[in-house]
Structure 1
């Protein structure tokens, strides 16, 4: 029997502040240029989680292609999403790497930075597997 590819996109959403892709066990977000991500943006994430990941573990991956700001207090709310078991940031920007260290202090779950998306996806597979074992 063929195993389904969990990295096939299920659906996507285009919001004024970001583009979000939904997969079987993760969300990939690309924020729009110049946005400041703030706690209000969590409302959108909560609706997506409720619709696509109800009682199912998932990882949030943000692919930082564009230049934008993050209010780190957003993670205090994001961390309350019980079935979000990890948060990955994909960026090669040295300034982003410094910012990520600050952001990580606001998030009490698995939080990791990667230079390429493929490594973030491998990490996601590992923590999902650990969670399920």
Structure 2
């Protein structure tokens, strides 16, 4: 881990090639929170592909329009949702329709990280 932050709306871990977030119980994820991801992309991943992993342990709402803005981050190559909650399957399907890059649902963090490794490798080979 390179860095970690504890904000009122989430906990963030910055890793070599991915951002891991755990959102705070009961919040609504809104587009202005995307500024955090933009800053991380600029500061930690400049000209380097990375993946966003949302570990959905807590219950919270997501404004789906945030995915339109996230799609605009050029070096963000994928989005992984980690959750055992069956409701997340429906939520992730909605989010996939708005996110213009790869978005997948996983039941374990380990499987999300394995997918992250594959998608980043694929992206690097295509350059």
TM bucket normalised to smaller:
over 0.9
Unaligned runs of 5+ in 2: none
What displacement does 1:43 show? 1.0
Alignment match of 2:68 (pick from 76, 83, 99): 76
Task: State which of 104, 116, 127 in structure 2 corresponds to 1:124.
Answer: 116
The number of equivalent residue pairs is: 125
Q: TM-score, normalised by structure 1?
A: 0.92
Please point out which of 44, 50, 56 is paired with 1:58.
50
Instruction: Indicate the residue corresponding to 2:107 in structure 1.
Output: 115
Q: Which blocks of at least 5 consecutive residues in structure 1 are unaligned?
A: 1-8
TM-score, structure 2 as length reference: 0.96
1:37-65 per-residue CA deviation (whole Å, 9 max, x = no partner) reads 01110111111111111111000000000
Q: 1:1-133 to 2 correspondence within 5 Å?
A: 9-133=1-125
Q: CA RMSD in A?
A: 0.6
Q: Once the 2 structures are TM-superposed, how far is the Cα of residue 97 of structure 1 from its aligned partner?
A: 1.3
